[in-house]
Amino acid sequence: MAIQSVGIVGAGQMGNGIAHVFAAAGYDVLMTDVSQEALDKAIATITKNFDRQISRGKLAEADKVAALGRISTTLRLADLGQTDLVIEAATEREMVKQAIFEDLVPHLKPETILTSNTSSISITRLASRTDRPEKFMGFHFMNPVPVMQLVELIRGIATDEPTYKALVEVVERLGKTAASAEDFPAFIVNRILMPMINEAVYTLYEGVGSVKSIDQSLKLGANHPMGPLELADFIGLDTCLAIMNVLHEGLADTKYRPCPLLTKYVEAGWLGRKTQRGFYDYRGEVPVPTR
Ligand code: NAD
């Protein structure tokens, strides 16, 4: 089946980036969220990001207008039932994702492929709650979606070959590169990245270094483009904590225990850039370390 229309559930930082790249590649995009405010903010962000691409000579104004014209929004999840491919990119909580798929299933065309952009939750388990585990896959984009080249493709135990091949083709049409991962907690990228970020938070918690010295050490000492704490703020500390919990519970190994300081930041609502405060405070001209 040729995929032309794409439904996106969740219009947060990942949902808007996914809408951006699909619309730019010529797909018709229908995006939903529980909040109209989130949908309005997503369209504003996509417009701003297209403008940035124009100013860098990567996109023509006419292409921006055409791409924006291909994106529509709705508050009704059921409206996504008629799309060829659904990408769920809502909050990283299994209950939230399960409820979305359960509500969506009665409205789906038989051939619609279901995917989740989850960073860590079992694809097999999410798929088992739908009527089509063979047409269900993990479709893991990286943040920021318009910039990052990789997409992880995760097959659940029941995923069939045509579904996998259809998504490989979609990734090619987006001009991105697919990496296949098995369905184990946090897949490849976050299985390696999150314990590093968590260890950076432990390094801060134990007083080995300050926010500034930890980030500087990894940037200048290991040639990372961003420090781990800066990166954690960028990803969202709630998402980082959720992924560590999935690793901890899913692999039953204490080496994955989330740092209590990470939990404390999340409990404070200091979730990183999206709430303007995390390991850095973003409310002023320049980010200021909070520890
Ligand atoms: P976010 O907090 O920016 O956005 C989540 C959005 O989901 C919000 O707008 C929220 O209103 C919406 N939402 C919540 N419940 C909903 C529901 N029932 N129906 C529709 N919308 C609902 O989070 P994000 O960073 O965009 O993460 C979204 C997903 O992408 C998560 O599964 C996360 O693990 C994954 N992911 C995140 C990153 C990252 O770097 N942040 C990278 C790759 C994958």
**148 CB under 6 A from ligand 1?**
no
Question: What are φ and ψ of residue 280, in 5° steps?
Answer: -125, 155
What is the predicted pLDDT for the residue at 239? 94
**What tokens were used for 75?**
């508050």
User: Rounded mean pLDDT of 250-279?
Assistant: 97
What is the predicted pLDDT for the residue at 222? 98
In the structure, what pLDDT confidence band is assigned to residue 48 with cuts at 50, 70 and 90? Answer: very high
Digit-coded pLDDT (tens) for 2-21: 899 999 999 999 999 999 99
Digit-coded pLDDT (tens) for 152-172: 999 999 999 999 999 999 999
**Burial call 244-274: b when 16+ CB within 10 Å, e when fewer:** bbbbbeeeeeeebebbebbeebbeeebbbbb
Question: What are φ and ψ of residue 194, in 5° steps?
Answer: -65, -45
**3 CB under 6 A from ligand 1?**
no
Fold of 5-181: Rossmann fold (3.40.50)
Residue nearest to atom 4 of ligand 1 (CA): 12
What is the predicted pLDDT for the residue at 52? 96
Residue of 8, 32, 33 with the most ligand 1 atoms within 8 Å of its CB, for mutation: 33
Distance between CA atoms of 165 and 3, rounded to whole angstroms?
A: 12
Distance between CA atoms of 63 and 48, rounded to whole angstroms?
A: 14
What is the predicted pLDDT for the residue at 101? 98
What is the predicted pLDDT for the residue at 225? 96
**What tokens were used for 171?**
């990734």
Q: Which residues contact 195 (CB under 8 A, 6 or more apart)?
A: 244, 247, 255, 256
State which ligand 1 atom lies nearest to the alpha carbon of 11: 9
CA 111 to chain centre: 24
Nearest to 123 by CA among 182, 192, 189: 182
Inter-residue contact 161 to 196 (CB < 8 Å): no
CATH superfamily membership of 193-289 = N-(1-d-carboxylethyl)-l-norvaline Dehydrogenase; domain 2 (1.10.1040.10)
Q: What is the mean pLDDT of the chain?
A: 97
What is the predicted pLDDT for the residue at 189? 95
Distance between CA atoms of 166 and 134, rounded to whole angstroms?
A: 13
What is the predicted pLDDT for the residue at 47? 98
In the structure, what pLDDT confidence band is assigned to residue 102 with cuts at 50, 70 and 90? Answer: very high
Pairing, β 28-32 against β 71-74: parallel
What is the predicted pLDDT for the residue at 5? 98
**34 CB under 6 A from ligand 1?**
yes
CA dihedral 200→189→89→109, nearest 10 degrees, is -160
Ligand 1 centre to CA of 89 (Å) is 5
Distance between CA atoms of 164 and 185, rounded to whole angstroms?
A: 19
Sign of the C-alpha dihedral computed for residues 111, 158, 6 and 75 taken in this order: positive
Residue nearest to atom 36 of ligand 1 (CA): 119
**218 CB under 6 A from ligand 1?**
no
Q: Please give the model's pTM, rounded to 2 decimal places.
A: 0.91
Digit-coded pLDDT (tens) for 195-238: 999 999 999 999 999 999 999 999 999 999 999 999 999 999 99
Residue nearest to atom 17 of ligand 1 (CA): 34
**pLDDT above 90 for 1:** no
User: Rounded mean pLDDT of 176-196?
Assistant: 96
Per-domain residue ranges of the chain: 5-181, 193-289
What is the predicted pLDDT for the residue at 40? 98
Residue nearest to atom 8 of ligand 1 (CA): 12
Digit-coded pLDDT (tens) for 108-126: 999 999 999 999 899 999 9
In the structure, what pLDDT confidence band is assigned to residue 194 with cuts at 50, 70 and 90? Answer: very high
Distance between CA atoms of 139 and 8, rounded to whole angstroms?
A: 12
Catalytic residues: 119, 140, 152, 190
